[in-house]
Amino acid sequence: MDELIIRREEKHVVLTLNRPEFLNALNYSLIDKLKDTITSLNEDADVRCICITGNDKSFSTGIDIKERVNQIKKGSFKFYKEDPLTKSFRDLLKLIDNIEVPIIAVIKGYAVGGGLELALACDFRYAADNSKIGLTEAKVGSIPGGGGTQRLMRSIGKSLALELMFTGYLIDATQAERIGLVNKVYPINEILDKVDGIADTISKNAPLSLSFIKRAVKIGDDISLDDGLELEKILHGSIQKSKDYSEGMSAFRDKRNPNFKGD
């Protein structure tokens, strides 16, 4: 059984985690497949948007604990060093965070621990109405290790992030939408169709515009407003020299749909 199912639409791709018997826990194999696939899709000029989802019961419950326990039994890493499985997971999240193509998390069921960290690395998130979401590491004597302490805080603010991590509470989709953790909640039997429509809308826009917007927001989040405005000015000037900009202006003038090429 394929651990990662790839469904390609005209301009967007849906990646479905497919380890249902393990609630889509992330082992070496699945992490490597995600890294290879996302890298390849990011280099494909015909791909304008990527969605990551799971099955109805679970988006992902994070790192496969059984695989980590096997590492400990084999003595394959020291406790004072970064364990190889978590390193591979962090590399995946860094890749997702840095790719130029917009990437959306589509949460159904559990998004817990590293599963929520995977969703937080994406550009934004939608949730089905059966979702249960949280960072529960404190309940097992650990802390989030895939960027959860940093990305959750940046997503919902320090106070709410600390409350969720200190308590280990799982919140439902309605609560997640209320605090801004997910953009919108949909019925579970509708969510994939809804997100397909949103991804299709994104995919019709200019690839350079999507890439430059993502770059401006991602970098701007970590610098001063003045530096962020300077960055935006540089990117705005650069994109006006592109063929896609000329095509967009011409299409608007001619009242036709633009044919963007990404250059």
Q: Report d(CA 8, CA 44) in Å as an integer.
A: 12
> Is beta strand 58-60 parallel, antiparallel or unpaired with respect to 110-112?
parallel
In the chain, CATH 1.10.12 covers 207-254
* The residue count for the chain: 263
**For residues 187-210, average pLDDT:** 95
Tens of pLDDT, residue by residue over 62-102, are 998 776 666 655 555 555 466 788 899 999 999 999 999 99
Q: Which long-range contacts (CB under 8 A, 24 or more apart) does 161-164 make?
A: 164/134, 164/135
Q: What is the CATH number of domain 207-254?
A: 1.10.12
Per-residue confidence band for 262, with pLDDT thresholds at 50, 70 and 90: confident
Assess whether 163 carries a catalytic annotation. no
pLDDT at 251: 86
Tens of pLDDT, residue by residue over 201-225, are 999 999 999 999 999 999 998 899 9
User: What predicted TM-score, i.e. pTM, was given to this entire model?
Assistant: 0.92
Q: Are 110 and 176 in contact (CB under 8 A)?
A: no
Tens of pLDDT, residue by residue over 152-174, are 999 999 999 999 999 999 999 99
> Is beta strand 58-60 parallel, antiparallel or unpaired with respect to 12-17?
unpaired
Per-residue confidence band for 261, with pLDDT thresholds at 50, 70 and 90: confident
Q: Enumerate residues 6+ apart whose C-beta is below 8 A from 71.
A: 77, 83, 84, 85
Q: Is the per-residue pLDDT at 107 higher than 70?
A: yes
**For residues 187-212, average pLDDT:** 95
pLDDT at 123: 96
Assess whether 232 carries a catalytic annotation. no
**Identified catalytic residue from 21, 43, 117, 177:** 117
**Identified catalytic residue from 10, 43, 100, 137:** 137
pLDDT at 221: 87
Candidates 3.40.50.150, 3.90.226.10, 3.90.1150.10, 3.40.50.970; CATH matching 4-203: 3.90.226.10
In the chain, CATH 3.90.226.10 covers 4-203
Q: Report d(CA 146, CA 103) in Å as an integer.
A: 18
Tens of pLDDT, residue by residue over 220-247, are 988 999 999 999 999 999 999 989 888 8
Q: Report d(CA 117, CA 210) in Å as an integer.
A: 23
**For residues 182-199, average pLDDT:** 97
Alpha helices in 107-220 (DSSP H): 114-121, 148-156, 158-167, 173-178, 191-203, 207-220
